[in-house]
Structures are given as C-alpha cells and as structure tokens.
Amino acid sequence: MTNGSYYDKLKHDEDNKIHTKKITVSDIISMKEKQKKISVLTAYDFCTAKICDKAGIDILLVGDSAGMVMMGHKNTINVTMEEMTIFCKSVSNGVSRAMIVTDMPFGSYQINSDMAVKNAIHLIKSGSDAIKLEGGIEISKTIKEIIRAGIPVMGHIGLKPQTSTLWEGYKVQGTTKSAALKLLEEAKMLEEAGIFSLVLEMTSSEVSEIITNNIKIPTIGIGSGNSCDGQVLVLHDMLGLYDLLKPKFVKKYADVGKIIYDAVSKYNEEVKNNDFPSIEHSFIMKENELAKLKDIVLK
C-alpha cells in the first residue's frame, strides 16, 4: 500500500465513521484459548498510535520506556505520573480498536496500596483500558487492591527495568533451576492475584515456555522466545529511531531514523540554497490586486 492510499483509507474510514470493536480483557484471554498470537507495541503519541491501531496491533502499551526514547533519560526510573498521563491521553486520542495498557511509573505503586489504586484510577480516567506494573510476590497484595477497584492489571516479571538496573543491570533471567522455579512461582501467584496477562522480559526461552504452559492467562514476551502467547517490542527500537541501546532480541523492521535524517538534511539544504519554498508551495495575489498595491507602495 502506498503512502497516498494509506492516508486516503484513513480519511475514508473517518468520513464514513467506520468503527471497529474495541478489544477487551476477555478478548485477550480468549486469544490464548484459541492459540492466536497477541501483538503488542509501545506507543506514546497520537500519530503513531493511530497507525499502529490501523495496522491491527492488539495491545498498545504506553510504556515508561517513553522516559528513554521520548525524553532522553538513561533509564525509566525518573518518569513521573504527570508524564505518563500526557502520553496516555495522547495515545487514547488515536485509538479505536486496540486495548491500551499503561505502565505505572516507578514510585507510583510501591509506597502503599492506597496510592497505587489512586494512581491506577487516574490512568484509567486518562484513557487507558488497563495498567501494568512490575514485580512478583512483593506486589501481589497491591495488584489485588487495584483489581478490587475494577481495574484490569497486566503483570511483568523476569527483567524488571525499573529496579533491575539498581541490582544487577540488564541480565537474562531464569538461567538456573532455582531462578526458573522462582519465576514460575511468581507467575502462578500473580495469576491467582487476578492479572489478565503477564509480560516476561529477557527470560530464557525454556523457562518462558514452561511458564506459558503452566498458567491460563496469556504471556507476552520481550526477549523471551517464541513460545509466549504474544510479543511486545518498543516501537522506536523496531523502527530504528532509538539507537542508544541495541538489545539482541530487537528486530529492526525499518530504518526510519535514516529516512528522517535524509529528509531533514534535504530540507536544510533547500532552505539554505533558497530552493524551498518554490512557487508551488507559495500563495500568490491576484494580478489586479497586486497592481493596486504597487500603485500605492511604489509611488
């Protein structure tokens, strides 16, 4: 599909008010039962969210990875609730079909359950359909409280970016028997707490398969092999927009960074050479009006 036909289709759909059924928690859970893979991508703004939604992505994750790829932080720790709220609202404005799951940033749920519930409610009111938080046994009580408030929760174990960097850095998880058993125990406990899906990050493929086969809820892998029920990538990684980190598990589907660089460089060159704007990109007065103006100005 060409760019022109793509945007023509977007306009056609909007003009005719074509709406697709919104994906729900039960839809995601049933995809595991039907052995249908779940596609997940991060999104942080209206334009990319709209494109991902139109492309058929099942879940758009408003990730705290925005702190790195959108704001330039070295990690996700410094992201705030206020910032996540802005990203969440922006994404929700561009989505009609995909489920929106928003990361609860570091510090927004660790202090106590009351604060966690309050912040989760805030994100739901900002346009999210569910929230995601990192952790295992230590946050199971908090998860139960959030779910009791009526909010769907996606779990996240394995590598936990918000805190792993403080302890051991970015390392593959589940590489020993004891580590694998702990992850399996955490997965079962989080399932019992009521989460509807579970992210497994940088977990060995073998352990991810064992976890996937031993819980009823879908697993979403990132760097955790293809046995998971779904996959998630950071949009900026797979498009080649962010190159400060290059994880082994990322497949680059396009080099959009180079495309943007080439376009910006061409624009810069044309402005400096006075080639842009040309007549086709300018507005021209009617000749008779211009003549009247000249009669006054040139006297």
List, for residues 86-128, the tens digit of each pLDDT value.
Answer: 999 999 999 999 999 999 999 999 999 999 999 999 999 999 9
Q: What phi, psi does 99 have (nearest 5°)?
A: -75, 140
What pLDDT was estimated at residue 17? 42
Helix axes 140-148, 113-125, angle to 10 degrees: 50
**Which residues are tagged catalytic?**
201
CA separation, residue 133 to residues 64, 117, 248 (Å): 10, 12, 24
* CATH 3.50.50.60 for domain 3-254: no
List, for residues 132-174, the tens digit of each pLDDT value.
Answer: 999 999 999 999 999 999 999 999 999 999 998 788 778 999 9
Q: Answer whether residue 62 shows pLDDT above 50.
A: yes
List, for residues 221-246, the tens digit of each pLDDT value.
Answer: 999 999 999 999 999 999 999 989 88
* Mean pLDDT over the full length of the chain: 94
With beta carbons less than 8 A apart as the criterion, state whether 162 and 214 touch.
Answer: no
Q: Where are the domains of the chain?
A: 3-254, 260-297
Q: How confident is the model at residue 1 (pLDDT cuts 50, 70, 90)?
A: very low
Residues 6+ away with beta carbon under 8 Å from 14: none
CA separation, residue 180 to residues 12, 17, 209, 213, 229 (Å): 50, 49, 11, 14, 18
Least-confidence region, from 12-21, 71-80, 104-113, 224-233: 12-21
Helix/strand/coil for 130: strand
Least-confidence region, from 8-12, 53-57, 239-243: 8-12
In angstroms, rounded to a whole number, what is the distance separating the alpha carbons of residues 199 and 26?
Answer: 17
Rounded to an integer, the average pLDDT of 261-284 is 97
